[in-house]
Amino acid sequence: MSLYTRIPIEFGTIELRNQWVAVAEELDERESKAGLVLPSKKQNTIGRVLAVGCSAKEDVRPGDEVIYQSWEGGRWQFGDQKCLVMDEDKILAVIREEE
């Protein structure tokens, strides 16, 4: 059983509204022999931003790596893309690589 609610459309066809942000979680899931998805025992709090809503601030952009609270947002699967959709205000930090 997956932690994600499956939506039968591709991720690229959705448009986030307002201040919502879609984040691809960096999960350590594995599948059992019976086909059950076994999540990692650790709480993941780092992910990569896939898309931002039209009212999101400019400091969070697609491609950014972010830190967020592990219990935030809803988990959705659009086609093959699993993501967490959360309010932009729940992002604690943006990890920027030195240029």
pTM of the predicted model, to two decimals? Answer: 0.74
H or E segment and range at residue 93: strand 91-95
Least confident of 9-18, 19-28, 36-45: 36-45
What the block records as the tokens of 60 is 């969070």
Q: Please classify residue 68 by burial: count the beta carbons closer than 10 Å to its beta carbon, then call 0-12 exposed, 13-18 middle and 19+ buried.
A: buried
Which domain covers residue 51, as residue numbers? Answer: 5-95
Residue 88: phi, psi to the nearest 5?
-55, -30
Structural domains of the chain, count: 1
**By the 8 A CB rule, do 53 and 17 touch?**
yes
Distance CA 96, CA 90 (A): 18
The 10s digit of each residue's pLDDT in 48-92 is 999 999 888 888 999 999 998 877 788 888 988 889 999 999 899
CATH of the domain at 91: 2.30.33.40
